[in-house]
Amino acid sequence: MTSSYKIAVIGGTGKSGSYLLQELFSNHFQVKALVRNPQKVGQIPAGVEIVLGDVTDIDAINRLLKGCTHVVSMLGMGTPPSEPTIFAQSTQHILSAMQQEGILRYIVTTGLNVDTPSDQKSEQTQFGTQWMKQNFPISTANKQIEYDLLVNSTVDWTLIRLPLIELTEENVLVHTDLKDCTGNKISAKSLAKFVVTQLFSKEFSRQAPFVFNQV
């Protein structure tokens, strides 16, 4: 039986996003995916509704969210790379379209380099954060702006902060922490499963947990 819930997905043609599409589809959700590159349409599972467009285009985001109940973004820089300011820009468009459509739940993934007031980052996590700030200053700063946009919004958001994503079907136990990332990787399969569990969960409502596999 197909669920009455329709999930809008951004970043579904990315390496980890493809795992999410499969997980949503296997759980019988209706799924609507934004696809920037028409050549990647063939990668989308049959039955997923496709909206061609770019997250920088507010009209494309409006078309994507039309009729949806939840929004998930696993947006990365993409291939070819998008502008490093794409994260805050896409979230601005998404928040606007969510208000227009009356959608409340938004789940978005990001790196462990985003800082929050509750953080107590270990030396290792601080090193990773500083490395990103030094080597990718524009995109790192833009992801921090994305967090600020969420904090100042009225939607029910969860910002999932991640270490290295391993593209594997291995379903490893997921650990969460609001202060520090004590694992250095997460499997794409277990991440996809975690995202689906959060669609209807209030556990991390308006919070930014670190999510990881600990081995």
Share of the chain above pLDDT 70, in %: 96
Token pair 């556990």 in the structure block, residue: 203
CA distance 65 to 168: 29
pLDDT, tens only, 195-213: 999 999 999 999 999 999 9
Q: What mean pLDDT comes out for the span 17-21?
A: 92
Per the model's pLDDT, the better-predicted residue between 35 and 72 turns out to be 72
The pLDDT score that the predictor gives to residue 36 is: 84
| C-alpha to C-alpha distance for 91 and 115, rounded to whole angstroms | 17
Tell me the torsion sign for CA atoms 152, 60, 113, 138. negative
What is the topology classification, in CATH, of domain 6-213? Rossmann fold (3.40.50)
Q: How far apart are CA 215 and CA 208, in angstroms?
A: 22
Quickly list H helices, 2-78: 17-26, 58-65
The string of pLDDT tens digits covering residues 160-191 is 999 999 999 998 899 999 999 999 999 999 99
Distance CA 131, CA 137 (A): 9
pLDDT tens by residue, 123-166: 999 999 999 999 999 999 999 999 999 999 999 999 999 999 99
Please state, rounded to an integer, the average pLDDT across all residues of the chain: 92
Cα–Cα separations (whole angstroms), residue 205 to 25, 100, 193: 24, 21, 17
Tell which wins on pLDDT, 43 or 192. Answer: 192
How large is the C-alpha radius of gyration of the chain? 16
- The DSSP secondary structure of 143-154, one letter per residue, reads HHHHHHHHHTS-
Identify the band that residue 81 occupies on the pLDDT scale cut at 50, 70 and 90. low
